Amino acid sequence: MRTTIAPELLQDPNIQASEEILRTCVHCGFCNATCPTYLLTGNELEGPRGRIYLIKSLLEGQIDPELHTVEHIDNCLGCLACETTCPSGVTYSHLLEEARPRLEQQIRRPLIDRLLRTLLTHLLPYPGRFRLAMRLAGLGRLFKFLTPPSLRHLLDMAPPHLPPPARLARPGIIPAQGQRRARMALLTGCAQQVVGPQINDATVRLLTRLGVEVVIPPQMGCCGALTFHMGERRHSLELMRNNINVWHAELQGDGLDAIVLNTSGCGTAVKEYDHIFRHDPDLSAKAAAVTALVRDISEVVADLGLGKADHATPLRIAYHDACSLQHGQKVTAPPRQLLKEAGFELIEIPEAHICCGSAGTYNLLKPDAAAALLQRKSTHIAQTKAQAVAAGNIGCIEQIARGIDLPIVHTVELLDWATGGPQPTQLTT
């Protein structure tokens, strides 16, 4: 695609990088076929090709950044199905990540939208605040009629009961069972610590059973992904810097064989730390060292070997590919292979490449589109006649649980069960 971006703008290395990406797009439109928002609307501007053209036109100054144009960018889930489909290798994610913060500075959102975004920025990355907010949301449901209509869905999304905090996955060092084979840091996520702490406990049990010493550094915090994908930068980069420094210190200290993530939404962002900080003279080398160690839990367990796995009931499991895992990290085989090794009957969900509508904060910011995608996903899951669903990302788990009558668990909970851990409570009722 030809571009005519003003030379003074191209002095900015980020805009220069965007121009290079724009030039790789040949405008074929193959990506539209797998784009969830294009499938829902049939609108060219609601597909990747249209969005790429929009970003190009904004950079060239052919159109002004206004709310109604930026909305097409806002409506993008960031699911990256388009990247998987694109035959020309267009790195749409990098284009989007450059465009969002720039547009955020150029437009003025309506007050309620600004309030919601500020609230999410200061709430989601902090498990303590998030837990309190979830409790207050339960109370708030009683006074729902007093809440602005555009915020009522937030109250509905809060789970009715919160599980107790994790018993094992707490800051510190958890020794390997038997002889130590490896030493790995575990990122426990922020929302996951509150709504899915049993996932972290299952991960610790599984890894330590396989001979891994697990490190959860006390200073480690949110990976920054949720706010980063909203176009917020100051706060997100601060969170990322903190983790890079914490993990790098651990690497330089007692050493690390891997940094393990069991929240694939976070994993995709952390695997990009080297790209995000590539122009930062103080952090680029550290970020590269950290990024080189980042693995999804399924990749790590596949490498270690699951070992004896005959403890679980051999249920029929429909495996849901989180977009962050299948499109963001291109990890599709290890979870499937491990579930089969663990004795489960694996069933594929039709249209597996399409997002469930969770997409970080998307279901909070765009509830109608998220609900339409959930409906689509739930219908496909119902067709599988599975006994339970497995997924590798807490966002998908929480979203899909609202649309199906089946239990849904994290893949690692099933692997832990199969190798001697407790049966996941969702499967016992």
Interaction of residue 308 with ligand SF4, rule CB under 6 A: no
Q: 82 or 318, CB closer to ligand SF4?
A: 82
Q: How far is the CB of 86 from ligand SF4 (least distance, A)?
A: 3
Residue number with CB closer to ligand SF4 (127 or 357): 357
Paired strand residues for 345: 316
Cβ closest to ligand SF4, residue 93 vs residue 236: 93
- Distance, CA of 28 to CA of 49 (rounded, Å): 8
Closest CA to 92 of 50, 64, 33, 44: 50
Site for ligand SF4 in 318-347 (CB under 6 A): none
**d(Cα 186, Cα 200) in Å, to the nearest integer?**
9
Q: Which is nearer to ligand SF4, 69 or 284 (CB)?
A: 69
Q: CB-wise, 30 or 126, nearer to ligand SF4? A: 30
CA dihedral 224, 226, 227, 233 (to 10 degrees): 50
Q: How far is the CB of 393 from ligand SF4 (least distance, A)?
A: 15
Rounded Cα–Cα distance for residues 366 and 89 (Å): 28
Conformational region of residue 307, where left means phi above 0, alpha means psi within -120 to 50, and beta covers everything else: left
What is residue 283's DSSP assignment?
T
Contact 311, 417 (CB under 8 A): yes
* Rg (alpha carbons) of the chain, rounded to whole number: 21
- Retrieve residue 124's tokens: 């989601």
Eight-state DSSP code of residue 4: -
Q: Determine how many CB atoms are found less than 10 A away from the CB of residue 25.
A: 21
Q: Is 86 or 260 the residue whose CB approaches ligand SF4 more closely?
A: 86
- The residue (of 82 and 322) whose beta carbon lies closer to ligand SF4 is 82
CA atoms within 13 A on the CB side of 145: 1
Contact status: 49 vs ligand SF4 (CB under 6 A): yes
Question: Which range touches ligand SF4 (CB under 6 A), out of 35-43, 133-141, 177-185, 193-201?
Answer: 35-43
Residue 231 as a binder of ligand SF4 (CB under 6 A): the answer is no
For residue 248, the number of C-alpha atoms closer than 13 Å in the C-beta half-sphere is 18
- Name which of residues 58 to 117 contact ligand SF4 (CB under 6 A): 76-82, 85-86, 88, 90, 92
Write the CA distances from 90 to 26, 52, 130, 209, integer angstroms: 9, 10, 36, 41
Rounded least distance, CB 50 to ligand SF4, Å:
8
Query: Which of 21, 22, 31, 58 forms a contact with ligand SF4 (CB under 6 A)?
Result: 31
Single residue of 4, 6, 12, 26 touching ligand SF4 by CB under 6 A: 26
Out of 10, 29, 104, 129, which residue is the one contacting ligand SF4 (CB under 6 A)?
A: 29
Helix or strand holding residue 318 (H, E): strand 316-320
Range in contact with ligand SF4 (rule: CB under 6 A) among 21-29, 179-187, 385-393, 418-426: 21-29
Please check whether residue 186 is in contact with residue 203, taking contact to mean a CB–CB distance below 8 angstroms.
yes
User: How many residues make contact with ligand SF4 (CB under 6 A)?
Assistant: 26
- Nearest distance, CB of residue 374 and ligand SF4, angstroms: 15
Q: Which of 2, 8, 27, 108 binds ligand SF4 (CB under 6 A)?
A: 27
Site for ligand SF4 contains 36 (CB under 6 A): yes
- Interacting residue ranges for ligand SF4, rule: CB under 6 A: 25-31, 35-37, 48-49, 51-52, 76-82, 85-86, 88, 90, 92
